[in-house]
Structure 1
Amino acid sequence: MVKACLFDLDGVIVDTAKYHYLAWRRLANELGFEFTEEDNERLKGVSRMKSLEILLEIGGVSFDEETKEAMAAKKNAWYVEYISKMDSSEVLPGVIDFLTSLRENGIKISLGSVSKNAMIILKNTDVDKYFDAVIDGTKITHAKPDPEVFLKGAEELGVDPKECVVFEDAQAGIEAAINAGMHSVGVGSPEILGKADFVISSFNEMSLNRLKF
């Protein structure tokens, strides 16, 4: 019996990828070169500093470490500026209905995200009220596929990992769920998320009946 559902944030509850892209493009423009959406594909699932290295490589420019740290901080400040303007209209389809049904049926809910800006997004989109626990980048030391973010969520909820289901849009996230000994549901492409128990294209396809493993 499933007792808890754990959710990644970006690409599952909301889509913040566009704001990362706008911030990186703004930095590239400031440095005097173009950064396209195709270029941005190379940054998905990559750390902030590694993303910066890729961007600088695309622009054919290089800087010392101190300057790069300042650039990464500037990019993050712009990203926070963008997400601070988010509202409930940006919650992905079917999410609110599913979260509501979980709460009505006594199933606990946790966030499991490596984002350090998770609370800003949850509050601005008005979904923070659905979560019993929030484990984000400020509370963990290991990135996915390490299971830390999900194991901490289960611990905070007081639920055994094998009674948890993780919802993820990234391969590393599905692997983190498997490493935690949890069930997993992929949100997105079956080709990428094939290790999940099953894959949905959106939460409009999700119901409590599908939580029986």
Structure 2
Amino acid sequence: MPVTTELSARALLLDMDGTLVNSDAVVERCWRRWAARQGLDGDAAMRVVHGRQGHLSMAILLPDRPMEQNIEENRLMLAEETADTDGVVPVPGAPAFLASLAGLPHALVTSADEGLARVRMGAAALPLPPVLVTAESVGASKPDPEGFLKGAAALGFAPADCLAFEDSEAGIAAALAAGMQVVGIGPRAAAHAPTVQVDSLERVEVTAGADGTLTVRVG
């Protein structure tokens, strides 16, 4: 029988791509085209791009290129990704999971800019959390913890009282560096040492106690 893990928190911080929204088809299309234009191996590029802001992925893949060029190309990449919603769907269990959080303290913490976040959540027919921490909100991208720290502050809780949901190496590292426990969602998360990993949000249940404590059962 599956083992159930029970975690406690006061607030939840949620990544978007790969955690709530399956946008892999768009990411693959856009980033493989970009990699081909640079003469890079597409598979190698895909191992880097998840979870980070695009200009930092570009900097890792092309370390000798000026950052100004990466920032400009990322602007174009964001426009391309925002215009392409073909295949953007909720991850299994995301609609019911977000519905269960209505009225509870939770925030979106994503490396996407606000426009892309709104488009992808809309394409997946998912409600936006009450607090958004997007690329414009931070000076440093995941794996830096700034986004998660800002999400906790916006909700009014200490980082240690927040539980993060993530799928990528960069995102899991960012949440752990912020001092939070992390629920890893999906197979991509398993290799990156989250506090607990689960194949699907269908296996996550959140209940609120009378004192506001959130009990998260994973398993």
TM-score (norm 2): 0.73
Residue 9 of structure 1: which of 13, 16, 20 is its match?
A: 16
- Counterparts of 1:96 and 1:74 in 2: how far apart (Å)? 30
Structure 1 alignment gaps of length 5 or more: none
Q: Secondary structure at the match of 1:199?
A: strand
Higher relative contact order (CA 8 A, sep 6+): 2
| Alignment-derived partner of residue 104 in structure 2 | 107
Q: Considering only aligned residues, what root-mean-square deviation do their CA atoms show, in Å? A: 3.3
Deviation at 1:35, TM superposition (A): 6.0
Give 3-state SS (helix, strand or coil) of 1:152's partner: helix
Give me the whole-angstrom Cα distance separating, in 2, the residues matched to 1:146 and 1:34.
Answer: 26
Match of 1:48 in 2: 54
How far apart are 1:24 and its partner, in Å?
A: 3.1
Alignment CA distance shift 1:77-1:201 (3 Å): same
Greater Rg over alpha carbons, structure? 1
Opposite residue 54 of structure 2, the aligned amino acid is R
Offset of residue 54 of structure 1: 7.5
Q: How many residues align?
A: 200
Q: Is the 8 A contact 1:4 1:109 kept in 2?
A: yes
Cα distance, 1:67 vs structure 2: 7.1
1:172 aligns to 2:174 (yes or no): no
- Whether 1:155 and 2:153 are equivalent positions in the alignment is yes
Following superposition, the deviation at residue 74 of structure 1 comes to 3.6
Aligned-pair identity in percent equals 28
- Which structure has more helix as a fraction of its residues? 1
Q: Is the 8 A contact 2:90 2:125 kept in 1?
A: no
1:211 partner SS: strand
In structure 1, the partner of 2:80 is: 78
CA distance in 2, matches of 1:155, 1:142: 16
Name the one with the larger strand percent: 2
Q: Which amino acid aligns with 1:145?
A: P
Structure 2 residue runs of 5 or longer lacking an equivalent are 1-7, 208-214
Sort the Cα spacing of 1:75 and 1:207 in 2 relative to 1 into closer, same or farther, 3 A.
Answer: same
